[in-house]
Structure 1
Amino acid sequence: MAQLAKPRGKTIGTAYRSTYAQNDPCYREVALAEFDSLTTEIGTMMNTVQPEPGVFDFREADAVADLAAQHHKDFQIHSLIWDPLDQLQWEIVPSAIRAMAPDRRHQLMIDSITTVMKRYAGRASTVTVVNEAFDQVGHLQPNAWWDTTHNDEYIFDAFRAARLADPTAELYYNDHSAETNSDKSNAIYDLVKRLRDTTVEVDVNGQTVARPLIDGMGFQGHMLGGADQQPNISDIESNVQRFAALGVDVRFTELDVRVPVLNGVATVADLDRQRLVYNMMTQVCLNQPRCTGLTLWGFTDKRSWITDYPDSFSGYGAATPLTDDYRRKPAWKGIADALR
């Protein structure tokens, strides 16, 4: 897959967990053979990298970073600051951190970003600094990080800390359900514009330069592929273009396409519709000069967050381009056909 993308000036990546490869060598082999970018699926989320205040655990993030370096792959970091209020059972923000006084929690946020960014400075090309700050109608989520400032100041502080810690990394804001023009994407557009218009002085190769707080916008791309669920591509293209016009790069950062399943099995018709969605989303990126590429949120149904949380996606599954035994589905051909 990566070999097809490279001549088109794009990268094709995947979220990666080192623990999945421990008893499944196929997982590692396929990831290395087919993708040229590896993203920490969970390794840099707060509950993994800092399970207790001030106590860091870099084992998972280091494993992904080291694998990428050893095989000359691009390395990307996912979601330093995130608190999904609709999935509190995941405890992305550990309970001990959530219980801290707001001012202490805010400082922990700054210190955590600084520590992670400095550890992977020069290794991580791209970092999602803040993830999913808005609800579906464009209001800021009243999460554990918003609670430290009660406005979007915490987002600016997070990006400022990331930029100061590693001036060379590409810094992204990332969100779901923002691919089309909507109240949510309007609010995100306003945030990204203001982040882009705000600069901070940093040292680059011994020279002081002013750099904007943000470099890119990540559209997650968790799509639906059932009947009458195909995306409005012209709407996506116009929305992506307005972000690109701000001078930021864009990327589909968590692409998957879930389809209706019965006992885990999708129909031939739905798998073909899934193929079409993957093909169209790849084509959107190819048509947009500022789109750096695609990252799949897992590549095999054996290791997919969609199938890991069946209660969250009742009646849907089979979201990746490979079956649970690593056979290529029509979706794989959909991506490849677009890239050819």
Structure 2
Amino acid sequence: MATRSAAPNRWALLIVAATCMLVAACTDPPTGPRVESTGPAEHGACGMSGPTLAELAERRGKTIGTAYRSTFAETDPCYGIVAATEFNSLTTEIGTMMNTIEPAPGVFDFREADAVADVAARQHRDFQIHALIWDPLDQPQWAIVPPAIRALPPPQRHQLMTDTVTAILHRYAGRASTVTVVNEAFDQMGHLQPTAWWQTTRSDQYIFDAFRAARLADPHAQLFYNDHSAETHSDKSNAIYDMVKRLHDTTVDVDVDGTTESLPLIDGIGFQAHMLGGEGQQPSVPDMAANLQRFADLGLKIRFTELDVRIPVVNGTATAADLDRQRDVFRTMTTLCLDQPQCTGITLWGFTDKRSWITDYPDTFSGYGAATPLTTNYQRKPARDGIAEALQEN
């Protein structure tokens, strides 16, 4: 199981929805190439052929998505082709993280988030928002909470938090189906982490306030809490269970299409599912299934939100045995979602080893890599077959 999940601090650049027509070579001008077809890709186009994962998932009533950056597609047409065709859901990888969307107090930069939302809308894909309120204490160099915001006195920082949630939910109301409101609030022992947001209330009250602001801003969006290393029973997953139960038991009156309704503060729980694929490194499947079920029994939706499977590599190369184990893990996680009626689907945290946060941080993940279903040149690995096989099982 991974120790954590994240995405680096990179500023959004120009809005370019760079997806090309499904041909072997992209010849459209760089200002607006698009994929208009959602059918099977032409054989050989960016390594694609046959039914897409999106088609297979839709037959099972699930979404299968990927984290997405418009700036990658700007310079890499195949990134745009595969993302917009292979998947039926796109999630902002960095576009709605605070250091991208609000680099200074009250100063918003929506360009990257808008670019992802626009691609999703144009391709008739589900659009999801990732990690509004997050402060990864183990990766301070990412500066997810910008220094000027971190320096605010706690009461002002708390007000900024709720104002930020409100502004983002208002902007993407009717476009974002699912929003991760709070991300990674707990440590591995199940204690609340002393983040910049926890310091504003010195309790989990900040989490309740963030979800309340989100619910009031967009009653239609599915609101999720998200965390890593909680797929099995543990002190951490127990603490998360207690919190999300209380969030779900707490209601707020909202206006839903002209009618006042009392809705819970939370709709779902996201399990990041950054997995290990080395020999003997997989957690118990029955334990994972039972853990998912207890959250489902609360009435919560469930989603694997950042699935990848890192495996041992030497000079960037994995053995055939490790690639086969990786395939089995992807297939297992897909089956777990399919077998759980409350699971809405899966989001991969990247789909090509060319654009993987695992390989971007070799010091953090020393000796591991190759975590996605496609190679650096978009060829299918056994892992992609594992997902497809699970989706095609009766």
Question: Residue deviations 1:267-313, cap 9 Å, x none?
Answer: 11100000000000000000000000000000000001101111111
SS at match of 1:52: coil
Q: Which residue of 1 aligns with 2:234?
A: 182
Q: Which residue of 1 aligns with 2:273?
A: 221
Q: Which residue of 2 aligns with 1:139?
A: 191
Instruction: Give the residue type in structure 1 aligned to 2:370.
Output: A
Question: Residue deviations 1:165-207, cap 9 Å, x none?
Answer: 0000000000000000000000000001000000000000111
SS at match of 1:65: helix
Instruction: Give the residue type in structure 2 aligned to 1:3.
Output: E
Question: Residue deviations 1:53-77, cap 9 Å, x none?
Answer: 1100000000000000011000000
SS at match of 2:189: coil
Q: Which residue of 1 aligns with 2:155?
A: 103
Question: Does 2:386 align with 1:334?
Answer: yes
Instruction: Give the residue type in structure 1 aligned to 2:121.
Output: A
Which of 332, 338, 345 is 1:280 aligned to?
Answer: 332
Q: Which residue of 2 aligns with 1:300?
A: 352
Q: Superposition pairs for residues 172-321 of structure 1, below 5 Å?
A: 172-321=224-373
Instruction: Give the residue type in structure 2 aligned to 1:249.
Output: K
TM-score with structure 1 setting the length: 1.00
Question: Does 2:130 align with 1:78?
Answer: yes
More deviation, 216-225/228-237:
228-237
Q: Give 1:7 deviation, angstroms.
A: 1.1
Where does structure 1 differ by over 2 angstroms across 4 or more consecutive aligned residues? Answer: none
SS at match of 2:288: helix
SS at match of 1:226: coil
Q: Which residue of 2 aligns with 1:161?
A: 213
Instruction: Give the residue type in structure 1 aligned to 2:109.
Output: D
SS at match of 2:90: strand
Q: Is the 8 A contact 1:128 1:172 kept in 2?
A: yes
**Alpha-carbon distance in 2 for matches of 1:80, 1:45:** 6
Question: Does 2:90 align with 1:38?
Answer: yes
SS at match of 1:335: helix
Instruction: Give the residue type in structure 1 aligned to 2:283.
Output: P
Question: Residue deviations 1:110-168, cap 9 Å, x none?
Answer: 11000000000000000000000000010000000000000000000000000000000
SS at match of 1:129: strand
Measured on the aligned residues, the alpha-carbon RMSD in Å equals 0.4
**Alpha-carbon distance in 2 for matches of 1:207, 1:336:** 42
Q: Which residue of 1 aligns with 2:22?
A: none
**For structure 1, which runs of at least 5 residues remain unmatched after alignment?**
none
SS at match of 1:85: coil
Instruction: Give the residue type in structure 2 aligned to 1:159.
Output: F
Between the two proteins, the alignment pairs up a number of residues equal to 340
**Alpha-carbon distance in 2 for matches of 1:302, 1:7:** 29
Q: Is the 8 A contact 1:202 1:211 kept in 2?
A: yes
SS at match of 1:292: strand
Q: Give 1:231 deviation, angstroms.
A: 2.3
**Alpha-carbon distance in 1 for matches of 2:235, 2:183:** 17
SS at match of 2:377: coil
Q: Which residue of 1 aligns with 2:374?
A: 322
Sequence identity, in percent?
74
Higher helix share: 1
Q: Give 1:261 deviation, angstroms.
A: 0.6
Which of 89, 95, 99 is 1:47 aligned to?
Answer: 99
Q: Give 1:230 deviation, angstroms.
A: 1.8
TM-score with structure 2 setting the length: 0.86
Instruction: Give the residue type in structure 1 aligned to 2:199.
Output: D
SS at match of 2:195: coil
